[in-house]
């Protein structure tokens, strides 16, 4: 039986290492549906196991922190990412230094 899109997204997101992020679009492409960035966002929003699926490591295509359903929203998301070693430029993730390629 084929895994659902959400299952594929969660499996890939679970592999994002500490100190790295992926974009919603990048994760959609890795899951086999390049046009499904919004569906990735919905999957992250529905995530119930933040330890297994680190949804805080998924960011907008420009490095902006968008949406986070836990704690104090994007403030909490940024705090967690900073603790993990993600590099920021102003209020956006420095994707050149912190983007995970999946390798």
Q: Specify the pLDDT at position 73.
A: 87
CATH code of residue 76: 1.10.10.10
Residue 100 belongs to some domain of the structure: no
Contact 7, 32 (CB under 8 A): no
Catalytic site residues? 55
pLDDT, tens digit, 9 for 90 and up, residues 21-74: 999 999 999 999 999 999 999 999 999 888 899 999 999 999 999 888 788 889
Domain-embedded: residue 30:
yes
Q: Which range marks the domain in which residue 12 is found?
A: 5-94
Q: How confident is the model at residue 2 (pLDDT cuts 50, 70, 90)?
A: low
pLDDT (mean) for 74-78: 93
Please tell me the total count of domains within the chain.
1
This prediction has a pTM of 0.93
Query: For residue 99, what are the contacts with CB-CB under 8 A and spacing of at least 6?
Result: 20, 21, 22, 23, 26, 93
Residue 6 pLDDT: 93
């Amino acid at each position: 039986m084929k895994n659902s899109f959400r299952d594929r997204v969660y499996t890939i997101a679970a592999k994002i290492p500490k100190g790295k992020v992926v974009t919603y679009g990048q994760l959609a492409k890795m899951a086999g549906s390049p046009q499904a960035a919004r569906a990735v966002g919905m999957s992250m929003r529905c995530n119930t196991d933040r330890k297994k699926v680190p949804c805080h490591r998924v960011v907008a295509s420009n490095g902006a922190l968008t949406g986070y359903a836990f704690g104090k929203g994007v403030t909490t998301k940024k705090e967690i990412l900073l603790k993990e070693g993600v590099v920021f430029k102003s209020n956006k993730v420095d994707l050149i230094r912190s983007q995970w390629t999946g390798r």
